[in-house]
Amino acid sequence: MAEPQESSNAGASDARSEAMPAVRRVAHFLGMIVVGAVIPAAVAAGLVGALGVSALFTGVLWGALGAKLGGTRRMAYVAPVVGIVAGLGAYTAYGWWWAVLLAAVGLLSGVGFRFGWFPVMLMAPFAATLVTPTSSASDAVIFGTVVAVGTGYGIIIVRRFGAPPVVDGDHHSWPVTAVIALMFGGVMGAAASLGVALAWSEPYWVPEPVLILVMYLLLGRRERIREKAVGTACGAAAAALVASVALPAWALTALALLAFLGALMQRKTYWRMYGLYTFALVLYSAAPDDVAFVAEQRGFQFLAGIGLLALGLLAVHAIADQLARRYPQPELAPVAAT
């Protein structure tokens, strides 16, 4: 008669044992939010104000992303460079010197293809592109310093979640590397120059798709170029249609929130995800009377960046294929963890 009771007690014990790891994971995640976001943000705000909070979170993002793509140890070496170019980007944004900076940083990061370091070096153009503009050199120094500190903090966080010390990237001969570096620097400079020449208030939206798509190319997702173009066009067109209805501001904000949540649920279908993201971005960032104008501007900015990257890839493939046949890449020995 006691067997059913023993069986139910065993089942309850198993359920509790299965629930405990889930509880620990949730507690661990909440603890990482507090330690990785809340406390550092409070410290940065107390020391240098809102600029420090923006710089800290920016640095954490670049540090975590670069460590996942290229390894924690390599990203640690690149962290000071990220801080320097972030400070320069903040001081020069968004003028012609900013466009020159993006071209130079793109060229420098492209050289990483010679040694397999391009995945981590890609964080330098990210840091120079997406910045908080500053009006003084001292604020730019503060911004760059906090970005470097945040980058190190991001490396520590992803290392806690098992990121490897080294992820070796592609290696190319010097002639091929030179072609890739010149192309990448030229595309970044051209994208920034287009936004500056047209006097856009947020010209970083032109080089932004270039950087995102280059990251996807590193991950072997070349189809993202076509899907991002389709999603951008659909999202901008949908926002322009909404503008014709003349909805109040609260309704636009609600639609933007719903679209953003929908984008988070469409990760397996990239063009839908990016279409919803573009739609949400336009509705959230535009005043009710300017939705159509912002939709046209954002759509053109994104598509211009995608087009520049596509042209650059066509050119670099045509030249690099000829150079690869002329200068064949020798078989590489295993690279030591550096």
Cβ proximity of 103 and 92 under 8 Å: no
Please spell the DSSP secondary structure of 250-318, one letter per residue.
HHHHHHHHHHHHHHHT-TTSHHHHHHHHHHHHHHHHS-GGGHHHHHHHHHHHHHHHHHHHHHHHHHHHH
Nearest CA-CA partner of 131 in 146, 152, 112: 146
As a whole number of angstroms, the distance between CA 86 and CA 84 comes to 5
Q: Residue 246 has what pLDDT? A: 79
The answer to whether 209 and 195 have CB atoms below 8 angstroms apart is no
CB atoms within 10 A of CB 14: 10
Q: What pTM, to 2 d.p., does this model score? A: 0.83
Contact 95, 192 (CB under 8 A): no
What distance in Å separates the CA atoms of residue 127 and residue 214, rounded to the nearest whole number?
A: 15
Choose among 211, 201, 202: nearest CA to 308.
211
Question: Rounded to an integer, what distance in angstroms lies between the CA atom of residue 168 and that of residue 70?
Answer: 6
pLDDT at 15: 47
Supply the angle between the helices 291-326 and 270-285 in degrees, to the nearest 10. 140
Q: How many CB atoms lie within 10 A of CB 16?
A: 10
Collect the ranges in the chain with pLDDT lower than 50. Answer: 1, 10, 12-13, 15-18, 331-333, 335-338
DSSP 205: G
91 phi-psi bin (left φ>0, alpha ψ -120 to 50, beta other): alpha
CA dist., res. 71 & res. 337, Å (int): 10
